[in-house]
């Protein structure tokens, strides 16, 4: 059988070199190209016709989830295996809904990564243990993921008013690290990736009410 053709997509050259190095020496794998963002990935998938794309998610410009969705809409035959640092709901769910075949974290051992690549090439779903656990927990939990706690609403209200993390922390008499933790929980519950999207979504759902003088 021919080697599995791989495209590595990550905005950090050192990470791409590291992945290439991990896979070097395996006669069943052939890295045919590298891309630094989602737009570059779309172009190279069309040009190189890889079997599997190792896709990072958070990249400048076109992110991984958007690129995965576009590949699915275009009917690309390549299977996408997400390889990222993040396993929050805001990252996992959009990537899988967009059409990713698997989802691994960058701390995965070499053997696990290689097995996942082979599985993805066969069209089999592969999930990092923490991701699988998170999805199972979601299925077992009642549908209250959109409910923000009082403290999360306080944090989001201040962010909507233009406060920085440090400013919100000072006004609420909590640490900046606690504010960041609250924001991560908010992102997960609202299914978004950043502050602006969280504020916009909260307004859309009536969780925040526009201030009127």
What pLDDT, on a 0 to 100 scale, did the predictor assign at position 211? 58
Residues 94 and 129 in one domain: yes
Same domain, 187 and 99: no
pTM of the model: 0.64
* 128, 108 contact by CB (below 8 A): yes
The pLDDT of residue 128:
86
Report pLDDT digits (tens) over 71-104. Answer: 999 999 999 999 999 888 778 888 888 899 999 9
CB 78 within 8 A of CB 48: no
Q: What is the pLDDT of residues 193-208, one digit of tens each?
A: 888 889 888 888 888 8
pLDDT at 191: 86
55 shares a domain with 8 = yes
Q: What is the Cα–Cα distance from 32 to 111, expressed in whole angstroms?
A: 20
* pLDDT tens per residue, range 122-131: 988 888 887 8
Residue 66 belongs to what domain range? 4-139
**Residue 106 belongs to a domain with what CATH number?**
3.40.50.2300
Spatial contact of 149 and 181, defined as CB atoms under 8 Å apart: no
Q: Which is higher by pLDDT, 213 or 17?
A: 17
The answer to whether residue 212 scores a pLDDT higher than 60 is no
Instruction: Report the residue count for the chain.
Output: 213
Residues 16 and 96 in one domain: yes
Q: Which residues of 121-142 are buried (b: 16+ CB within 10 A; e: fewer)?
A: beeeebbbeebeebbeeeeeee
Assess if residue 83 is contained within a domain. yes
The two beta strands, 52-55 and 4-9, are: parallel
Query: Over the stretch 26-54, which tens digit does the pLDDT of each residue have?
Result: 899 999 999 999 999 999 999 999 999 99
pLDDT at 209 exceeding the cut of 80: no
**Looking at the domain assignment, is residue 213 inside a domain?**
no
- Domains identified in the chain, total number: 2
CA distances from 212 to 137, 166, 209 (A): 40, 25, 9
CATH no. for residue 178? 1.10.10.10
Alpha-carbon span 121 to 89, nearest angstrom:
25
């Amino acid at each position: 059988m021919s080697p599995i053709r791989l495209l590595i997509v990550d905005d950090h050259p050192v990470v791409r070199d590291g992945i290439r190095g991990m896979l070097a020496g395996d006669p069943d794998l052939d890295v045919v190209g590298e891309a630094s963002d989602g737009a570059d990935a779309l172009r190279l998938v069309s040009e190189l016709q890889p079997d599997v794309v190792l896709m990072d998610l958070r990249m400048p410009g076109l992110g991984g989830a958007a690129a995965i969705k576009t590949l699915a809409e275009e009917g690309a035959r390549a299977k996408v295996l997400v390889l990222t640092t993040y396993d929050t709901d805001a990252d996992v769910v959009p990537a899988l809904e967009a059409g990713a075949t698997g989802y691994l974290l960058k701390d995965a051992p070499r053997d696990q990564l290689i097995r996942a690549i082979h599985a993805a090439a066969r069209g089999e779903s592969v999930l990092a243990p923490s991701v699988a656990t998170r999805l199972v927990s979601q299925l077992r939990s009642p549908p209250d993921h959109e409910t923000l706690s009082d403290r999360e609403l306080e944090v989001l209200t201040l962010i909507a008013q233009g406060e920085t993390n440090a400013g919100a922390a000072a006004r609420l008499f909590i640490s900046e690290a606690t504010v960041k933790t609250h924001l991560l929980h908010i992102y997960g519950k609202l299914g978004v990736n950043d502050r602006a999207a969280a504020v916009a979504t909260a307004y859309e759902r009536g969780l925040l009410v526009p201030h009127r003088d």
